[in-house]
A = this chain, B = another copy of it.
Amino acid sequence: MTERRGAPTIPRGGGRDAITGAAREILSERGYHGTSIRDIAKRAGLSLSALYYWHPSKQHLLAALIEDITHDYFQRCDLALREAADDPAEKLRALVRATVEYRVSRRVESNISALEWRNLEPANRERLDGLRHAATQLWADIVADGVASGDFHCAHPDDARRSIIAACNAIAQWYEPGGGITLPELVERYCAIALRVVDHRG
């Protein structure tokens, strides 16, 4: 009962961080229903009850995690857009860059937010849907602007947007760190693809 095999992978700062860190790892590996709250406590190197000190329930932990991740991603997109030149192609590139960078440097988080939305209880899902929609809207606005300005020529902006987002998101599934391709290079490739999808004509 007292023995612990393996060393807790994540003995960082306080209890709270250890928990979220462990939860991110395990949730991304096994999914919400495949993960037990005991698994998380064990990986965090804490007792089961300690976990309940910080989070009132498993669902609450999931919601907090997804909220963090979504905020984080949204903020990065927002920042990237503010720094970008006022040109549809540049804005689109900025968004692609922010997304690709996030998918690569936050693979674990990316997979959680991609796969675990459906496990949010309705109340939590509704609360977070606004954020998600806002992120989608960033893309939609840019594509619309580009079409309106004549920079982009795609006939179906919604499908273009969805295709670009799907392509960028998929990176989190296949990317292996240390795979011999630099992040800037990867960003460049997906910018090029995105611009072809919206049929950008410089």
Contact = CB atoms under 8 A, between A and B. Distances in A.
A4 interface: no
Interface of A: 1, 30-34, 53-54, 115, 118-119, 154-156, 159-160, 162-163, 165-167, 169-170, 174, 189-190, 192-193, 196-197, 199
A198 to B, nearest CB: 9
Interface centre among A115, A160, A162, A166 (most CB of B within 10 A): A166
Stoichiometry, copies per complex = 4
Contacts of A32: 33-34
A31 B118 contact: yes
Contacts of A154: 193
A189 B161 CA distance: 12
A20 to B, nearest CB: 14
A113 to B, nearest CB: 14
Contacts of A170: 162-163, 165-166
Given A33-B34, A167-B167, A196-B196, A189 B1 contact: no
Q: Enumerate the 7 nearest inter-chain pairs by beta-carbon distance, A residue then B residue, closest first.
A: A33-B33, A163-B167, A166-B170, A33-B34, A166-B166, A196-B196, A166-B167
